[in-house]
Amino acid sequence: MTDRILPPAPRSAARLQITSTESDFWAELFVDLGLRVEWLGQALDAVPKEDASAAALVRLRSYAHALDELHHALARVQACRVEPHLKPLFSLEGTLAGYLSRLYGWCEEIGNDFERMAVALRRRQPTSIVFSHHAVNESYAHFDELTSALRHTNDVARELHADKDQQSWRAFEERVEELIWATDWVHMTLARRPGE
């Protein structure tokens, strides 16, 4: 018997309508994360309230909420791909791509952990709802390095394209900062001790 609460992801209509390769890459990852966030919410709703430890369920819901906020921040950054002078920043060889790729991979990793925890709660099995501080700190340090590189690249790109629409540059930078903050927030949520 599988530990998954829900069946594998269906091929969504949104995924089938995308045509360009870079768009496929980023859009498919985004759609998959959106499905994961939605499924996690459904999985937590499926845990019988009377059977679950209230603290464990509350903690898992806080994880799911932080992941949902991260998904919304990603949506705002990805919306910038339509701006012609910002599109090169989404190049698969760039620092933004490195950050986004690692972020999507990390979301898949922790999403699998969240789902495993929800399955255990539903089955009334013991489960740890606490993440290793060492692992969370290592992940945070890695993202901090990626963030520094990303900010440096964005500063250089803005200076090179100073004649372009400054308002859209500011909006892009604000969205990237919001994404960085949301990523940090997920780390902080994972690092909280029980009862905090």
Domain boundaries defined on the chain: 19-191
In the chain, helix, strand, coil percent, each to 5?
75, 0, 25
Q: Are the C-beta atoms of 96 and 153 separated by less than 8 Å? A: yes
The tokens for 186 are 């997920």
Closest among 17, 37, 38 to 27, alpha carbons compared: 17
Range 164-171, long-range pairs (CB < 8 A, 24+ positions): 164/85, 165/83, 165/85, 168/80, 168/83, 168/85, 168/86, 169/86, 171/80
Q: Does the pLDDT value for residue 195 go beyond 70? A: no
Q: What pLDDT does residue 59 have?
A: 83
The Cα 179–Cα 138 span in angstroms is 19
Rounded mean pLDDT, 32-41 = 86
What sections of 3-132 are H helices per DSSP?
13-16, 21-45, 54-78, 95-122
Q: Are the C-beta atoms of 28 and 18 separated by less than 8 Å? A: yes
pLDDT tens per residue, range 150-178: 999 888 877 776 666 777 788 889 999 99
State the fold for domain 19-191: I/LWEQ domain (1.20.1410)
Q: Are the C-beta atoms of 187 and 139 separated by less than 8 Å? A: yes
Model pTM score: 0.80
The Cα 12–Cα 14 span in angstroms is 5
